[in-house]
Amino acid sequence: MPLHFSLCDKSLLREKRGEAEKRRERGKKKVGEESSWRRKHFMLWPRPLLGKEGATMHVKKYLLKCLHRLQKGPGYTYKELLVWYCDNTNTHGPKRIICEGPKKKAMWFLLTLLFTALVCWQWGNFIRTYLSWEVSVSLSVGFKTMDFPAVTICNASPFKYSKVKHLLKDLDELMEAVLERILAPELSHANATRTLNSSIWNHTPLVLIDERNPHHPVILDLFGDNHNGLTNSSASEKICNAHGCKMAMRLCSLNGTQCTFRNFTSATQAVTEWYSLQATNIFAQVPHQELVEMSYPGEQMILACLFGAEPCNYRNFTSIFYPHYGNCYIFNWGMTEKALPSANPGTEFGLKLILDIGQEDYVPFLTSTAGVRLMLHEQRSYPFIRDEGIYAMSGTETSIGVLVDKLQRMGEPYSPCTVNGSEVPVQNFYSDYNTTYSIQACLRSCFQDHMIHSCKCGHYLYPLPRGEKYCNNRDFPDWAHCYSDLQMSVAQRETCIGMCKESCNDTQYKMTISMADWPSEASEDWIFHVLSQERDQSTNITLSRKGIVKLNIYFQEFNYRTIEESAANNLVWLLSNLGGQFGFWMGGSVLCLIEFGEIIIDFVWITIINLVALAKSLRQRRAQASYSGPPPTVAELVEAHTNFGFQPDTAPRSPNTGPYPNEQALPIPGTPPPNYDSLRLQPLDVIESDSEGDAI
């Protein structure tokens, strides 16, 4: 009968299995009887196994019994296992493969294979989409009483010129000579009688470059000779007045043997950058406390303060030194006290300030902007005011309406962000301020770290780790060239951007700014009189419109926006899509997957059983090949096959002696009759004993 007819008939299959079980039980019983008969007649009693050898034999016996008990259902061959799965699975398709005729069997096989491949392809797409960790952004609007933001204010000029003039004397004289050389070269050449500090100029000079001939550019030092052979001063006049003349800053290292040129399109930019670089070299050698004393004090800068209905003064501000702007003052920073809440939205419930920037005492060549630099930020966060701040113009009243946006990112693996920066591989040089993590602090710390490793010194504008020094021309002559290369390095920026992460929770303040002249012409007289009396105890006016700034900072409304990330594809989405595709194309479910897993386990067990049987047969072949005495008898072979503990008698025999050492003639039993009913389809290796007997 063909195989597919017997398998489709369920009742016939059960009968076949029942008969096979009965034959197996009879075989076990008769094998036991044969084994007892052989022991009785042949007197081949197994020698007891002692010690480690006996324990090992019992363990092997137990494991073999367990192995056979685990594999009882589908069968002992791969073919039986596959047929059993196709006949019993709940997945549509495999049943039709074994129950239909040859043509339909081939058709159902192709359809099942096609739809299986389609399901696997869809599953791969869904899993790849899930592992891309995409996010969706939701916007919600809330209403509540909010904490007033921290407000940082700085003067546009970092120092008072009256206090740093002695430090910048040589540099200012050199700057005036440079400007004379640029603006009136003939007059400056005729009046060049004063002595200048050549060490500053020779270290980092300004040059003129004529690039009308790109293959042979002409380079001329403003106070020196032409590097290409021109020696008279008229050459510089021709170059400077010619179309295509550029000004550049020459940066050299290794005692001037390796130089680069930083070009500028305007002489204004060139002299400003050159002066700032030289001033950095000077201020880097001044102790920190002296720099603080040379900047604008809070009691002179903050003339009036009012928060809501409560008066305040400079003592309510926290002072920090910011290298770009000198002394900066932070209101409501929240470092030592609780943050101040805002009672209501509107101008009357905000912060009102009147500031004096002292513009008449600005450093002329270091600062070209007059006004107040201010920034709104979270409590306990460091204010990077140069990058995120805004200017308020002198002689005006600037009103700033604030709206709040709260950003909430999910974090890894959805967003590359960090909560506190602990997993960022960059040392935070701003940690001495006890502020929260920010990506700006990480980027600047990373740059300073590269600066220290590349130039052997730190830049004056960034915090310095312990044990290091700031760069200056005296101790580090090549620092300007190194700093310029590092600043222009794309690889350095990409490295720092790759290591630094954004903060997972951030608050941004959106500002609406409006300005008006303040004070008006009708009221400026009495206002300046009152402010001068309060600050300087003078009846004369000591303030002017060009130095006064008024600020109004307030919440426009208590509505705040929360921008929150959420997973675009979560685990529920993945499971529903996987199950939908599997059910639509193959009519399967989770139970079908469990069935497939069961078949995989059965496949593994059958493989293990076959490997055990193969290893046992190889071991028996090696034992037969290494037998040194006469060949074993049939009874010994049967006993060794059915009794794991049997040990043949290996004592040496003399040719003249009998089969037994004591030479006693024992009766030779007759050969037992053959037992044909014990023949089975399964090999003896897969028959087991349910009793305490041997496992076959």
Sequence-separated (6 or more) residues with CB below 8 Å from residue 18: none
**Two structure tokens written together for 130:** 């899930």
**Taking every pair of C-alpha atoms in the chain, what is the biggest distance, in angstroms?**
148
pLDDT digits over 397-439, tens only? 999 999 999 999 988 888 889 988 889 999 999 988 889 999 9
pLDDT at 441: 94
Ramachandran angles phi, psi of 544, nearest 5°: -140, 165
The share of the chain scoring above pLDDT 70, in percent, equals 75
Angstrom CA distances, 29 to 22, 685, 690, 692, stand at 11, 16, 11, 13
Closest CA to 366 of 279, 460, 269: 279
pLDDT at 415: 86
User: Reduced to 3 states, what is the DSSP secondary structure of residue 141?
Assistant: strand
Instruction: State how beta strands 351-356 and 548-567 pair.
Output: antiparallel
pTM for the full model? 0.71
Distance (Å, whole) CA 581 – CA 584: 5
Distance (Å, whole) CA 486 – CA 439: 20
pLDDT digits over 481-538, tens only? 999 999 999 999 999 999 999 999 999 999 999 999 999 989 988 998 898 888 878 7
Between 583 and 12, residue with greater pLDDT = 583
Q: Is the pLDDT of residue 3 over 60?
A: no
Residue type, 68: H
pLDDT grade for 651, boundaries at 50, 70 and 90 = low
Between 243 and 308, residue with greater pLDDT = 308
Ramachandran angles phi, psi of 310, nearest 5°: -100, 130
Between 412 and 188, residue with greater pLDDT = 412
Under 8 Å between Cβ of 310 and 287: no
Distance (Å, whole) CA 234 – CA 186: 9
pLDDT grade for 18, boundaries at 50, 70 and 90 = low
Q: Is the pLDDT of residue 689 over 90?
A: no
User: Reduced to 3 states, what is the DSSP secondary structure of residue 331?
Assistant: strand
Burial tier of 626 (Cβ tally within 10 Å: 0-12, 13-18, 19+): exposed
Under 8 Å between Cβ of 328 and 152: yes
Measured torsion, CA atoms of residues 588, 593, 596, 598, in degrees rounded to the nearest 10: -140
Residue pointed to by tokens 């594999």: 71
**Two structure tokens written together for 106:** 């081939």
Q: Is the pLDDT of residue 361 over 80?
A: yes
> In the beta sheet, which residues pair with residue 319?
329
Q: Domain 416-503 - what CATH class? A: mainly alpha
pLDDT digits over 576-626, tens only? 999 888 888 888 888 888 888 888 888 888 888 888 888 888 888 877 666
Sequence-separated (6 or more) residues with CB below 8 Å from residue 685: 609, 612, 613, 616, 696
pLDDT at 230: 36
Q: Is the pLDDT of residue 160 over 90?
A: yes
C-alpha dihedral sign at 138, 140, 145, 150: positive
Q: Is the pLDDT of residue 671 over 70?
A: no
Q: Is the pLDDT of residue 343 over 70?
A: yes
* Phi-psi category of residue 535: left, alpha or beta, with phi > 0 → left and psi -120 to 50 → alpha: alpha
Of 21-25, 34-38, 210-214, the range with the lowest mean pLDDT is 34-38
CATH code of the domain made up of 138-154+298-405+508-568: 2.60.470.10
Sequence-separated (6 or more) residues with CB below 8 Å from residue 529: 539, 541
Ramachandran angles phi, psi of 327, nearest 5°: -75, 125
Sequence-separated (6 or more) residues with CB below 8 Å from residue 687: 24, 27, 28, 31, 680, 696
Residue pointed to by tokens 């805004």: 390
Strands, E assignment, 568-653: none
* Phi-psi category of residue 331: left, alpha or beta, with phi > 0 → left and psi -120 to 50 → alpha: beta
Under 8 Å between Cβ of 349 and 296: no
Distance (Å, whole) CA 577 – CA 590: 13
pLDDT at 39: 46
Angstrom CA distances, 503 to 136, 402, 511, stand at 18, 22, 21
Angstrom CA distances, 81 to 52, 76, 88, 226, stand at 38, 7, 11, 94
Distance (Å, whole) CA 23 – CA 124: 49
Under 8 Å between Cβ of 371 and 156: yes
Question: Which helix (H) or strand (E) segment is 385 a member of?
Answer: helix 385-388
Under 8 Å between Cβ of 496 and 488: no
Residues in the chain: 696
Average pLDDT of 258-269? 87
Q: Is the pLDDT of residue 293 over 90?
A: yes
* Phi-psi category of residue 391: left, alpha or beta, with phi > 0 → left and psi -120 to 50 → alpha: beta
pLDDT at 344: 87
Domains of the chain, residue spans:
138-154+298-405+508-568, 168-183+198-222+241-285, 416-503
Sequence-separated (6 or more) residues with CB below 8 Å from residue 401: 511, 512, 513, 554, 555, 556
C-alpha dihedral sign at 486, 487, 490, 491: positive
Residue pointed to by tokens 């002198």: 394
Quickly count: other Cβ atoms within 10 Å of residue 232's Cβ: 9
pLDDT digits over 82-135, tens only? 787 777 777 777 777 777 778 888 888 888 889 889 999 999 999 999 998 988
Quickly count: other Cβ atoms within 10 Å of residue 224's Cβ: 14
Q: What is the mean pLDDT of the chain?
A: 80
Distance (Å, whole) CA 158 – CA 171: 17
Closest CA to 300 of 361, 364, 352, 358: 358
User: Reduced to 3 states, what is the DSSP secondary structure of residue 463?
Assistant: coil
In three state form, how does the secondary structure of 265-276 look? CCHHHHHHHHHH
